Amino acid sequence: MDFELSEQQTAFRDLMRDFARRTISPVAREWELAGRYPSEIVDEMKSMGLFGMLVPEEFGGIAIDAVSYALVFEEISKAWMGVAGILGSHSLATLMLARYGTPKQRARWLPDLATGERRSGIALTEPQAGSDLQGIATVARRADDHYVVNGAKTWITNARHADPLPVLVKTDPEAQPRYRGMTILMIEQGTPGFTVGSDLGKLGYRGPESSEVFLSDCHVPVENVLGGEEGHGLQQALAAYARERHAFGRPIAEFQAIQLKLADMATEVQAARLLTWWAALALDSGRRADLETGMAKLYASEVCIKASLEAMRIHGGYGYSTEYEIERFYRDAPLMAIGEGTNDILRTVIARQLVREYHS
């Protein structure tokens, strides 16, 4: 297996690195602290085609490979993780639509989603359900040619900009196993009964909004069922996620203790990078990669937390100051072990896959 980037991937990585350094880094600290939405950065990402990364070319997307997709998030997250989040939630929605949408749904929404003219996210989490998606309480009851939806979602990235927003609901609350009664509805902005509530305050991951979403007798057309058939919502959502994280007069880097920390950090970051590329290559081969993506997300997120803490220790008081980038990295890092499947949940996924492979 070759862990070197291709010539095309290297050029793409350099393009993304230049974009992040030129457009994002100079404003990240000021805008993040001010709670300013990065509209200008979003506009440039539109012009670069980044909202169409996972959209097939026939619908106006650029359909990049999984390794290149990982490079986008690595380079942008170095500058400002919140900006990467804007792309991440949107891309998950486009992937679900491209994979599972009916021909009419794909033709209706994907072209505008590819350009960023429309944006999206994904509404799974609920106040009482957390990581147990089968425990959601949002219900959609069929009434002739539409569903009447009632419930609430929380921590939804891009909620204010999403049109449509894929929402996981229960169309058959009595189904056993429970996942067979779960469906994704594509809910458009302006639908009566669909309301975006307050933006939730966060330690880090600032820039994109993370909002509450309320559904009160929200009428959604039957034709907005993702894929056109009930009962596949949980599988559709989970499959998409599996795709998709100087002192004492001398520079302190000259001190052996600091050098040891830097060596460990660099080694672990490189290991996380290669593990991520390994998972991306598995996805590009066209097979399921639950084990590989689970390991990559688990390890990379733990390395992220550890590295951000060590960076703060190395920088001392400056690491705690909002005048420097370190405190923002430290605030952003914990979300990596919580969002899109907690690391404890991922450990159970990895263990089950290992047992399955042992017995196969």
Domains of the chain: 7-115 (1.10.540.10), 133-233 (2.40.110.10), 245-359 (1.20.140.10)
Q: What ranges make up the beta strands (E) of the chain?
A: 139-143, 146-157, 165-170, 182-187, 194-199, 210-221
Q: Find residue 168's DSSP bridge partners.
A: 184
Bond from prior residue into 251 cis (ω within 30 degrees of 0): no
Q: What is the pLDDT of residue 248?
A: 41
Report the alpha-carbon distance of residue 111 to residue 108 in Å, rounded: 7
Report the alpha-carbon distance of residue 275 to residue 98 in Å, rounded: 26
- Write out the catalytic residue numbers: 340
Q: What is the pLDDT of residue 247?
A: 41
- The torsion of the CA quartet 310, 316, 317, 322, rounded to 10 degrees, works out to -40
User: Longest C-alpha distance within the chain, in Å?
Assistant: 77
Contact 226, 97 (CB under 8 A): yes
Q: Find residue 165's DSSP bridge partners.
A: 187
Q: What is the pLDDT of residue 249?
A: 43
Measured over the CA atoms of residue 161, residue 166, residue 167 and residue 168, the dihedral's sign is: negative
Report the alpha-carbon distance of residue 304 to residue 44 in Å, rounded: 27
**Angular region, 190: left φ>0, alpha ψ -120 to 50, beta rest:** left
For residue 47, how many C-alpha atoms fall within 13 Å in the half-sphere facing its CB?
6
Q: What is the pTM of this model?
A: 0.74
Report the alpha-carbon distance of residue 99 to residue 239 in Å, rounded: 10
Report the alpha-carbon distance of residue 25 to residue 10 in Å, rounded: 21
The SS3 assignment for 307 reads helix
Smallest CA-to-CA distance from 139 within 166, 163, 164, 174 is with 174
- Alpha-carbon separation of residue 43 from 18, 40, 117, 200, 230 (angstroms): 16, 5, 10, 24, 36
Tokens of 219: 């009428």
Q: Which residues contact 50 (CB under 8 A, 6 or more apart)?
A: 72, 87, 116
Q: What is the pLDDT of residue 146?
A: 95
Q: Which residues contact 222 (CB under 8 A, 6 or more apart)?
A: 142, 145, 146, 147
Report the alpha-carbon distance of residue 120 to residue 54 in Å, rounded: 13
- Per-residue pLDDT tens digits of the chain, which is 360 residues long: 667 899 999 999 999 999 999 999 999 999 998 889 999 999 999 999 999 999 999 999 999 998 999 999 999 999 999 999 999 999 999 999 999 999 999 999 999 999 999 999 999 988 876 667 888 999 999 999 999 999 999 989 999 999 999 999 999 999 998 889 999 999 999 999 999 998 888 777 888 888 999 999 999 999 999 999 999 999 898 777 655 433 444 454 556 677 788 888 899 999 999 999 999 999 998 888 889 999 999 999 999 999 998 888 877 656 766 667 888 888 889 888 887 778 988 898 899 889 888 777
Long-range CB pairs of 133-136, under 8 A, 24+ apart, other chains included: 133/168, 133/182, 133/234, 133/237, 133/238, 134/177, 134/178, 134/179, 134/182, 134/234, 135/178, 136/168, 136/169, 136/170, 136/182
